[in-house]
A and B are shown apart, each in its own frame.
Chain A
Amino acid sequence: AQSVTQLGSHVSVSEGALVLLRCNYSSSVPPYLFWYVQYPNQGLQLLLKYTSAATLVKGINGFEAEFKKSETSFHLTKPSAHMSDAAEYFCAVSDRTSADSWGKFQFGAGTQVVVTP
């Protein structure tokens, strides 16, 4: 089965600074990868997705992520943090390794982002 690891459960950034959230996956087949954002007491909202097209993926709210097969990574970045970016972020992979696991999504543990003025 595929799995996802997010490095760092909490990240603090200054307003205007670079946001970098790390995600590594384990997979024996080309994965589909996703980043979601969650605000308190709400559901998750898709930021962006990689499904075997361009390796640099642009999403909503100025976020982008780069798929690097050699590093099995899909890190999320935003050049300049805004106060509204304070939220929890989840990396997810669609499990396509076997018929039994097809259709399941595995989520990382999440990274809480705090933005300071």
Chain B
Amino acid sequence: DGGITQSPKYLFRKEGQNVTLSCEQNLNHDAMYWYRQDPGQGLRLIYYSQIVNDFQKGDIAEGYSVSREKKESFPLTVTSAQKNPTAFYLCASSIVAGVEELFFGEGSRLTVL
């Protein structure tokens, strides 16, 4: 079945540690996105990528980094510079950026201890 796979589903991190969230899609979509979700704030865009080897900052990119070396993969690193990293992170993809709907993964919940 085609879809988006995020891992891990739950992750605990100590303060000062970097952590990488995985996102893989087999939908052959060009565009991929990372969103952060906090209660009552909807989804906020961290980074997005319209093609391989290219990505743009979203509204809350500080403290995060991404790479897009392969079409099917778009990992997100939450660095120690992110002041409040505890959140639910969602990866999504679309056939063409901004035209067709987003397909979402099941999410990764990061908790900083």
**Interface residues, chain A, CB within 8 Å of chain B?**
9, 32, 34, 36, 41-46, 49, 51, 90, 92, 94-96, 102-105, 107-110
Query: Are A103 and B97 in contact (CB-based, < 8 A)?
Result: yes
Choose among A9, A36, A45, A103 the residue that contacts B50 (Cβ–Cβ < 8 A): A103
Closest B residue to A4 by CB, please name it: B42
Query: Are B40 and A107 in contact (CB-based, < 8 A)?
Result: no
List of B residues within 8 angstroms of A42 by Cβ: 106-107
**Interface residues, chain B, CB within 8 Å of chain A?**
4, 31, 33, 35, 40-45, 48, 50, 56, 58, 88, 90, 92, 97-99, 101-107, 109
Q: How far is the CB of A98 from chain B (nearest CB, A)?
A: 11
Query: Are B106 and A95 in contact (CB-based, < 8 A)?
Result: no
CA of A93 to CA of B36, assembled, Å: 17
A selection of 30 A-B contacts at a CB cut-off of 8 Å is A32-B98, A34-B102, A36-B102, A36-B104, A41-B107, A42-B107, A43-B92, A43-B104, A43-B105, A44-B43, A44-B102, A44-B104, A49-B101, A90-B43, A92-B43, A92-B102, A96-B98, A102-B97, A102-B98, A103-B48, A103-B56, A103-B97, A104-B48, A104-B58, A104-B98, A105-B45, A107-B44, A109-B40, A109-B41, A109-B42
